[in-house]
């Protein structure tokens, strides 16, 4: 079962990926994790990625595709995988078609106003990284280490709006590209409510042997 997850930042895509990974025993693969792993290695490719990331540049498609290709060829991907954060462009999607079949693309949908609401109520502990919502923690102090909480720049409404625009511009063409195998789910409810229809859909897919 080879799946791609598409969804805006704050749509609950990561939580959904974890549930799928757990129940269907397939790894969740994000390009962010792949980049973090490669820079710890000692190879010409690692050096190249390190210098690109240090200069704040974007890793070129050919390197990203190469990393994904190597990752999905490992034994733990025999039953399949979930790609999270890749592909981001049509060029990447076309390159992916050449290295693997993709059975289904799950699109997690949530209205922008709800995403902005959810993300802008998020507070982070600068000391231990724990995440809270303003509603659950009106004291605004970390329950684990008593450090005053902060709002990360990423979670400020102006930044969120910009990130959502970037997401929409890059994702709309992908939605067309994968229109023949797209499964849409709303994440307006709880994480379990979001997961239920996805689980049913994937169980059918699995039964078909994909």
Q: Which residues bind Zn ion (CB under 5 A)?
A: 125, 127-128, 130, 142, 144-145, 147
- Residue closer to Zn ion (CB basis): 74 or 144: 144
2 is catalytic: no
Which of these is catalytic: 2, 71, 88, 123? 88
Pairing of strands 81-84, 104-109: unpaired
CB of 124 to Zn ion, least distance (A): 9
**84 neighbors 33 (Cβ within 8 angstroms):** no
The Cα–Cα gap between 207 and 23 comes to 14
Which of these is catalytic: 122, 156, 181, 199? 122
74 is catalytic: no
CB of 148 to Zn ion, least distance (A): 10
181 is catalytic: no
- Residue closer to Zn ion (CB basis): 88 or 123: 123
- Residue closer to Zn ion (CB basis): 114 or 150: 150
123 is catalytic: no
Burial class (CB in 10 A: 0-12, 13-18, 19+), 119: buried
Positions annotated as catalytic residues are 13, 88, 122, 152, 163
């Amino acid at each position: 079962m080879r799946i791609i997850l598409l969804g805006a930042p704050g749509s609950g895509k990561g939580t959904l990926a974890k549930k799928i990974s757990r129940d269907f025993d397939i790894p969740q693969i994000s390009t962010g994790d792949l980049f973090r792993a490669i820079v710890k290695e000692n190879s010409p490719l690692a050096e190249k990625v390190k210098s690109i990331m240090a200069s704040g540049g974007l890793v070129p498609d050919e390197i990203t595709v190469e990393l994904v290709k190597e990752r999905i060829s490992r034994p733990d991907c025999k039953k399949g995988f979930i790609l999270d954060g890749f592909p981001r462009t049509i060029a990447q999607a076309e390159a992916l078609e050449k290295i693997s079949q993709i059975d289904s693309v799950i699109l997690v949908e949530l209205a922008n106003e709800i995403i902005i609401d959810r993300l802008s109520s998020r507070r982070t502990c600068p000391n231990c990284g724990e995440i809270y919502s303003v509603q659950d923690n009106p004291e605004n102090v970390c329950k684990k280490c008593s450090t005053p909480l902060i709002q990360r720049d990423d979670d400020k409404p102006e930044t969120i709006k910009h990130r959502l625009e970037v997401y929409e511009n890059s994702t709309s063409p992908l939605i067309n590209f994968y229109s023949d195998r797209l499964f849409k789910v709303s994440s307006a409810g709880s994480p379990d409510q979001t997961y239920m229809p996805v689980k049913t859909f994937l169980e059918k897919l699995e039964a078909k042997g994909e």
